[in-house]
Chains A and B, each alone.
Chain A
Amino acid sequence: MKKIKCAIIGPGNIGTDLLYKLRRSKVLEPVWMVGVDPTSEGLARARELGLKTTDKGVDGMLPHVVADGVQIAFDATSAYVHKENSDKLNALGVMMIDLTPAAIGPYCVPPINLKQHAGKREMNVNMVTCGGQATIPMVYAVSRVQKVKYAEIIATVSSKSVGPGTRKNIDEFTRTTAGAVASIGGAAEGKALIVINPAEPPLIMRDTIHCLTVDAPKQAEIEKSVHEMIAEVQKYVPGYRLKNGPVFEDNRVTTFLEVEGLGDFLPKYAGNLDIMTASATRTAEMFAEEMLSGRLNLEPVAA
């Protein structure tokens, strides 16, 4: 069966985990890994797995994009360089899935709005944040039942799973996640908190989602909606589990989750990173299915 060819930009932990996931896909085929450091282990690993690689950044791949038929690229670098990467690739008709916090394209949380994005032929979609991918489906599970005036999420991640980029700009996490909790989750107001815990052995990502409903919560409907949404996310993150709840107290609805990763390249406790690569893969697959069926035909976009 024909597959859609993909490039990964950024051969770090995220990029490498993504590579493992793409290799399993029935509709995606990773063909390029792009880095900037000739001594990068990630580039070496990608070469061993048969990918073409460059240590000259996106510019090193650009001359080959058309000939090699690359149609989807994943950016797992940093917010600072994302726009440039995206513009260059969009100009060649390659759609971009953004795993950085740059968020120049619309947010994509697969079980909520992926179909809509694929239908709109978006050329750049952003995967929000790890906390956002884990919690926004739960906010939406409540807001699709009844109005939510305020939603707040607490993401607790193991110290080992938080890289230097996130640490240098932790505000970006809180701000971006809070914004998407409201705009994609469907709450009138959103707030996000992140806690980093250094316990050994590292703890599996935990997420708590509080929703304050406008009217008294419709308990049975919310419970059903929450369980259905969990099943939806489990399709691409099997370790997405309800630990407790939903708890109802006055107008508060709270769910407690645990997110365990698949352990492809990243360790299993780093569910926060796994849910990003899994969501990005799921997103690319949906676009790829549309392309393969002929419903979606990407064209170059001037920056």
Chain B
Amino acid sequence: MNLKGISIKVHDMSLRDGMHPKRHQITIEQMQSISRGLDAAGVPLIEVTHGDGLGGASVNYGFPAASDEEYLRAVIPGMKNAKISALLIPGIGTVDHLRMAADCGVHTIRVATHCTEADVSEQHISLSRKMGLDTVGFLMMAHMVEPETIVEQGLLMESYGANCIYVTDSAGYMLPDDVSARIAPLREKLKPETEIGFHGHHNLSMGISNSLAAIEAGARRIDGACGGLGAGAGNTPTEVFVAVCNRMGIETGVDVFKISDVAEDLIQPILDFQIRIDRNALVLGYAGVYSSFLLFAKRAEKRYGIPAREILLELGRRRMVGGQEDMIEDTALTMAKERKLLETA
């Protein structure tokens, strides 16, 4: 694979997707020191706020240590070169959140929908673009549909005003060929000036290989999370990805040693547990289940006595999509009743 001389933009997720394994409890001070470290290492774009994006604070997804606005106002003024992005999932966040984030000074808004539901993003994408923000359409669980659908949905988001379209492997299910098969036709059909991005999860350890396949097929924005933070077994670890890019001559502008220091000195110490491909994270990638479901399934295992892996497999079988965290407890309850572990009413 020869990708020498290609210049890409690294987008770090440790302070947004990384909120999942931290149960959204990263403190303001931790966000400030980590974002400054990433900025100093040369990361050009950093996402912050609740793991489920703006407005994610809820019983369903978890209440964070601070509000979206508090995080944004604490982080943005500390940036020397890096820009800050925020994620917005329609159905969770609204244009009111978008306006608040713009007022805080975010540079980028990423509007995320399930990969077949792009048309719920029109009001948010068009407003973001109208406000002059870097506007990204983010197609989640992109493994669940054929490449043609990704192209059709990406074109919709582009028509609303998105200047960048993401193929998002929320389940960490894709293999490099799956990534190429989706990004290459997108590159062909979108306007030449519309960028393409890839967001990976490391549940099958494919984060880096998939990101390289994405670059080869035309993606120029790649998501990683410093220190391997992120839902499931984490996102593509930024420091490892940057090191690989350096070896291959892909230009990221990120300093390998500085970013690996951030991973070691600032991220490792705040982890509640080692983020790794345990049997449950593995099954996310293996069966194609939304990575953020992991900790909820573990909690349900503890409470209802159904192994997390079996709950996750059942969620996959029922084709649950991102945001359906409520169905984890529901599924565990139903399985527990079926197994006579619970009294039935």
Contact = CB atoms under 8 A, between A and B. Distances in A.
B267 to A, nearest CB: 30
Interface string A28-41: 00000000000000
Interface string B89-102: 01110111000000
Contact of A245 (B95, B96, B318, B333): B333
Interface in B73-118: 90-92, 94-96, 114, 116-117
A212 B330 contact: no
Given A195-B91, A199-B319, A252-B59, A154 B120 contact: no
Contact of A193 (B92, B123, B329): B92
Interface stretch (A107-115, A163-171, A232-240, A282-290): A163-171
Counting chain B CB atoms within 10 Å of each CB, which of A159, A197, A199 scores highest?
A197
Interface string A138-156: 0000000000001010101
B216 to A, nearest CB: 29
Interface in B152-176: none
A194 B117 contact: no
A169 B123 contact: yes
Given A175-B94, A191-B58, A206 B327 contact: yes
Given A208-B326, A212-B59, A170 B116 contact: no
Main secondary structure of the interface of A (DSSP, over half): strand
Contact of A171 (B59, B123, B320): B123
A247 B117 CA distance: 31
Contacts of B274: none
Interface in B302-332: 303, 318-324, 326-327, 329-330
A249 B303 CA distance: 10
A224 interface: no
Contacts of A212: 59
B91 A170 contact: yes
B114 A198 contact: yes
B95 A171 contact: yes
B320 A197 contact: yes
A268 interface: no
A41 to B, nearest CB: 23
Interface residues of B, number: 32
B306 to A, nearest CB: 13
A256 B330 contact: yes
B187 to A, nearest CB: 25
A297 interface: no
Interface string A61-76: 0000000000000000
A193 B91 contact: yes
Given A164-B119, A197-B321, A247-B333, A170 B59 contact: no
Nearest to B318: A199
A244 interface: yes
Nearest to A156: B324
B218 to A, nearest CB: 26
Nearest to A207: B326
B32 to A, nearest CB: 28
B81 to A, nearest CB: 33
B122 interface: yes
Interface in B106-151: 114, 116-117, 119-120, 122-123
A152 B91 contact: no
B334 interface: yes
A256 B91 contact: no
B326 A256 contact: yes
Nearest to A257: B330
B27 interface: no
Given A170-B123, A193-B58, 6 more contacts: A167-B122, A171-B95, A174-B94, A196-B91, A197-B321, A249-B303
Interface of A: 150, 152, 154, 156, 159, 164, 167-171, 173-175, 191, 193-199, 203, 206, 208, 210, 212, 242-245, 247, 249, 252, 254, 256
18 contacts: A154-B326, A159-B117, A167-B119, A173-B91, A193-B60, A193-B92, A195-B91, A196-B117, A198-B117, A199-B318, A206-B330, A210-B59, A244-B330, A244-B337, A247-B329, A247-B333, A249-B303, A256-B330
